[in-house]
Amino acid sequence: KIHGEIVSSIDLRTGGTVTAAGRDCLKTYFKRLRTSLEKVSRGDFLDVPEGVRATYQEIFDAYESDLGHYFRHLYRIFKFIDESGIEDKRSYAGIVRAQLSADELGLLFFNGISEHGEKFRVLIERFALLENLRPKRIPLWEELHGLYDKSAFGDADV
């Protein structure tokens, strides 16, 4: 419930007017990230992962109040599951994972390879949080998916 409330509370304003709200904001943030990553695709960076991290950092900085809050909360949910005494932790993680939209998974992918997601990456891999991620939605997939252990993608063939 809290996760849904956090997503619903996100809004994007232009000139004081709300132009997007909730998941539509996350969709907009991911679209802007994908557009910004075109400069990495063009070869503006010699080191692709570092170029991607720098580009993600720009987007994160622009929307830090929303993205920071969102990812800190999501991290705490999975950290709670991980540290709990329940037996089937993957099932509980799967319930939360099922609530994530395609754009949220895309943002999670990039957050996990950034400095902001270093601790989260362990949980992303442990609970296969990117299992439903469609590679074609991720710019520079071939260069980046190897930054994660295969476990992050579950049973998917990456």
Structure confidence at residue 157 (pLDDT): 57
Q: Positive or negative, the Cα torsion across 6, 114, 131, 139?
A: positive
Opening angle at CA 95, ends 92 and 96, nearest 5: 95
- Interaxial angle between packed helices 64-83 and 48-62, expressed in degrees from 0 to 180 and rounded to the nearest 10: 110
Q: What is the pLDDT of residue 46?
A: 83
Mean pLDDT of the 56-65 span = 95
Asked if residue 115 has pLDDT above 90, the reply is yes
More confident residue, 95 or 155: 95
Residue closest to 129 by CA, chosen among 146, 157, 151, 103:
151
| C-alpha–C-alpha distance, residues 17 and 73, integer Å | 26
Residue 20 belongs to what H/E stretch? strand 17-21
pLDDT at position 158 is: 53
Instruction: Tell me the CB-side half-sphere exposure of residue 130, using CA atoms within 13 A.
Output: 32
pTM reported for the whole predicted model? 0.92
Question: 44 or 100: which carries more pLDDT confidence?
Answer: 100
